[in-house]
Structure 1
Amino acid sequence: MALFSLLTLYSTVNTLITSLLLTVVGYFVFNEWTRYRSRVKGLSGPAGLPIIGNLHQISNKPASEQYRLWSQIYGPVFQIQLGNTPVVIVNSTHAAKSIFLSQGSAINSRPVLAFFHQKASSAALSIGMSPWDERCKRKRKVAATSLNRSRTVGYHPLLKHESSELMAALLEVGHAGKTAFIPEPVVHRFALNLSLTLNYGMRAGSTKTFQNSPIFQEAIAVEEAIGKLRSVGMNYANYIPSLRLIKSISKPFKRTPTQNAADIGKRRADYNRVFLDELKKRVVENTDSPCIQGGVLRDPESSNLTEPELLGISFSMMAGSETNTPKIGWAMLLLSQRPDLQKTAFKAITESGDLGEDALALEGEVPYIMAFTKEVLRYYTPLRLAMPKATTDVVEWEGAKIPKGTMVFLNAWSCNREEGTFDDPFAFEPQRWLSADPHQHYSFGYGGRMCVASHLVNKALYTVFLHLIGNFEILPGKEEEGSIDIDPLTGIDNVNHQRAAPRWRKLRFVPRDLNRLRTALSASA
């Protein structure tokens, strides 16, 4: 009897193991057949591995640079596979024009990512991550109207004020150039204040208030986490169905990244609702300052916007702080290592006469500082793969037909370094933007879904660089001399993050004329 029971148990276990193996083999075969059929016919690309495709080849390295290198082998437009998902990579300015402009109406949407959209953004979607539908069009129209070139002029006093606050913080924290410090907190405060003021008509006060405020620190932490959740190199579950199944099965037993994503999405919605509710009260009391959300609340034609749509606009504006901070930070690090640039830029400012006696003036335009601003955006390129797009109709490239529903990346990093479009593209040369035949950089995207705030961001960065170089000499801290890496590939903090942030180091901000700067700051307070 015991022997019979043992044989029965052996048979049962053997059957279970066989069934499991057959299931695994069946899934593998079906998945690989599915992956093969999903490839875009007529486009070449690097070979990948079963299940994961090319994910392992872009993990823990700057993916945009790997794509640029692959484009030299497979052409300016090629395909990769992120798990089960085929992705078309556009790497040249000519290809970008052909695909994103000439066929723009067929490639205006965004892909829906299983992990990010269904978890972190289930309540509301930012403009940048929304598929192209009526809700997205309404949100984009409101934001674009508030941020177009003519409206940007009205924000100049705001930009000057926030830039002045940044200069005051650099002066205070650095003890008038005597102390080296990491400027990230004060730069982050500037970027967040710009987003808060434009969107909600409110701002953080002093640096100390900003650092001690739970809600402002929550906004910084969550916005950074959202950027990580959007990253290709950090979220394989977006592209590998079996990982999503495993996460779903394990959910009752442990706290998974999926649950964390949902928590982060909820936290983002929570603090934005707090900001929006406070603005609604100020609107009722007629004590609000002009801002995007205030204009929406006061405009009867915008009353059909739902709360998720209002939040979606807010999400987009708040996300801007996460891309503006690294742009300014990297420029500071660059200037600390390039006294020749500081000398040239300061000479251009003094010869223009625009600052005059006012160390924080914002009249006219210094061409070299505008050129410096554009070159920072071209050379550093924080969002190196722009925001992913999705085709809504067939898109053609040299005989290949890219089907509806295909994910497409604009490799802005590669376009910004294209030989022939930019002379000596791997050199930082602001003078290139002073020529009679100006180029176009791709750091705000390209085509119909370009960043709606590009005009404002350009002016904001220009203002900061004008005041920064005009009032400070930037030096590395003594312990940092010779160790600051300003290479935009090797000097970034996290290669897997969607946006490239520099490795912050201690700098000294030495006032060029302390009395003159203090006088200007007192006048602007």
Structure 2
Amino acid sequence: MLGNIPVVVINSAAAARDIFGSNAQVLSSRPELYTFHKVLSDTAGTTIGTSPYSDSLKRRRKGAASALNRPSVATYVPHLEVETRDFIKELYTFGDAGRTPVDPMPMIQRLSLSLALTLNWGTRLKSQKDDLFAEITHVEEEISKFRSTTGNLQDYIPILRLNPINGHSAKAREMRNRRDRYLTDLNNGLDERIANGTYQPCIQANVILDNKETKLTKDELTSISLTMLSGGLDTVTTQVAWFVALISQHPEIQDKAVREIRKYYAKEQPMCDENDDQKCAYIVALVKESLRYYTVLRLALPRASVKDLPYNHSVIPKGTMVFLNAWACNMDDAVWSDPEVFRPERWLEQPEAPLFTYGVGYRMCAGSLLANRELYLVYMRLLNSFHVRKYDDVDCHPVTGNADPTSLVALPPRFRSYFVPHDNESLQKALDVAA
């Protein structure tokens, strides 16, 4: 029980496939939580992932699906090219071509945020010094805390909401108002570019221009944009940060990956080809293994059972919060003989094995194709451009290294590394051409 709310946690791959796979309709909704749904999201609305089931949700999912299918993702490749190239350039510049240890987190955050802005609104974030960078990263980090399962006691103990000095709700309202301001500016800017024909291909424009069929309201369009913004910032940033921490401590993982990349690209081609649709099987496996081993959303967003659900001679009652323990399912020893080991080769041996990082069933992440394409290009360019050499000792174990166990996402510790070019002349030339 969380307060007076019954809770069920699904901890095995077999149970997850059985319960979520066979009961899509019963588990199609989300619970409404006081802090996030009633205080934080009462103006701009909720993301697709956090919305209870409704006709509006069906329309939004349909709109997002059309903007995130494989043909649409292919149209976003020029954006991926620009942002991943700038990511490499920042690591090179701030790290003084491998001579100065640098904290990669600000570069990873700028990469994720600029990609989210570019992919969704067609507008770039060119620098960490941009005021919008500091505002959005701060507000979205705070909002993530209001989605925490364990960090908002007033969600489960209603009397806490009556506290006359309820700072928790006051802070939620402040973040809501600040988010409303930058969302309005971003949406208005895109509307102007669409009106005068200067917009770039992007998710929000695709959805708006396809709106004759989907018939989305303005609030529903905002919900889709919120989904793209918060999803990319929370998950992609954390995933890449864990991966960089890991390879900084384990050069043998880098060396194997670089040998595989060199089957397709020479060290004189540090940027690789942005149109490479995951042809290097080992890097595809490396992406999957990092998604499995560092399951950033360990306890996936809860479902709400809309009616009684029979299971194994028991009944999960209507109104129960049902959590997918994605971490436990990814570490299930009934699926893997060595789940505690980081071993990309497992995905070459068992390519059809389940991966629970994006969820399972009806409410799984709609942006998984885009995320996989993005991570593949980031890993390819990072590994083919640099040897990531250790400066700080980092605990890169997914459990003991978790910087904040109460956070919605599992955060790695902050650290510094050297980013040493494999071929300084070729990398400098590639980055100069882009400039």
Question: What's the CA shift for 1:300?
Answer: 4.4
Question: What's the CA shift for 1:303?
Answer: 7.4
Q: Percent identity?
A: 38
* Counterpart residue identity of residue 257, structure 1: H
Whole-Å Cα distance in 2 between the matches of residues 222 and 310 of structure 1? 20
Question: What's the CA shift for 1:90?
Answer: 0.4
The unaligned stretches of length 5 or more in structure 1 are: 1-80
Give secondary structure in 1 for the equivalent of 2:8.
strand
Kept after mapping to 2: 8 A contact 1:191/1:325? yes
Residue 311 (structure 1) aligned with residue 222 (structure 2)? yes
Whole-Å Cα distance in 1 between the matches of residues 214 and 312 of structure 2? 46
Q: Which has the higher contact order (CA 8 A, sep 6+)?
A: 2
- Which residue of 2 is the match for residue 186 of structure 1? 107
TM-score (norm 1): 0.80
- Which residue of 2 is the match for residue 94 of structure 1? 14
The 5 A counterparts of 1:485-496 are 485-496=395-406
* Counterpart residue identity of residue 473, structure 1: H
- Which residue of 1 is the match for residue 186 of structure 2? 275
Kept after mapping to 1: 8 A contact 2:267/2:422? no
Kept after mapping to 2: 8 A contact 1:354/1:366? no
Question: What's the CA shift for 1:357?
Answer: 4.4
Residue 106 (structure 1) aligned with residue 26 (structure 2)? yes
Kept after mapping to 1: 8 A contact 2:267/2:384? no
Residue 233 (structure 1) aligned with residue 144 (structure 2)? no
The unaligned stretches of length 5 or more in structure 2 are: none
- Which residue of 2 is the match for residue 333 of structure 1? 245
- Which residue of 2 is the match for residue 342 of structure 1? 254
Residue 382 (structure 1) aligned with residue 289 (structure 2)? no
The 5 A counterparts of 1:328-477 are 328-350=240-262, 352-354=263-265, 357-362=268-273, 363=276, 365-435=279-349, 437-477=351-391
Give secondary structure in 1 for the equivalent of 2:315.
strand
Whole-Å Cα distance in 2 between the matches of residues 219 and 278 of structure 1? 16
Whole-Å Cα distance in 2 between the matches of residues 338 and 103 of structure 1? 42
Question: What's the CA shift for 1:440?
Answer: 1.8
Kept after mapping to 1: 8 A contact 2:388/2:419? yes
Whole-Å Cα distance in 1 between the matches of residues 389 and 286 of structure 2? 18
Question: What's the CA shift for 1:267?
Answer: 1.6
Q: What is the Cα-based RMSD across aligned positions, in Å?
A: 1.5
Kept after mapping to 1: 8 A contact 2:76/2:201? no
Higher helix proportion (structure 1 or 2): 1
- Which residue of 1 is the match for residue 48 of structure 2? 127
CA offset digits 1:475-523 (Å, max 9, x no partner): 122xx2xx31101111122110000111110111000001111222233
CA offset digits 1:324-367 (Å, max 9, x no partner): 111101110100110110111111111x2245743212235211
The 5 A counterparts of 1:259-298 are 259-298=170-209
The 5 A counterparts of 1:8-157 are 81-123=1-43, 124-157=45-78
More displaced stretch, 354-363 vs 171-180: 354-363
Question: What's the CA shift for 1:305?
Answer: 1.9
Whole-Å Cα distance in 1 between the matches of residues 69 and 134 of structure 2? 30
Q: Could you say if the C-alpha distance between residues 345 and 108 of structure 1 is closer, same or farther in structure 2, counting changes exceeding 3 Å?
A: same
Kept after mapping to 1: 8 A contact 2:390/2:417? yes
Kept after mapping to 1: 8 A contact 2:117/2:123? yes
- Which residue of 2 is the match for residue 66 of structure 1? none
Give secondary structure in 2 for the equivalent of 1:233.
coil
Whole-Å Cα distance in 2 between the matches of residues 143 and 522 of structure 1? 36
> May I ask how many residue pairs the two structures share in their alignment?
430
TM-score (norm 2): 0.96
Whole-Å Cα distance in 1 between the matches of residues 120 and 58 of structure 2? 18
Question: What's the CA shift for 1:111?
Answer: 0.4
- Which residue of 2 is the match for residue 223 of structure 1? 140
* Counterpart residue identity of residue 368, structure 2: S
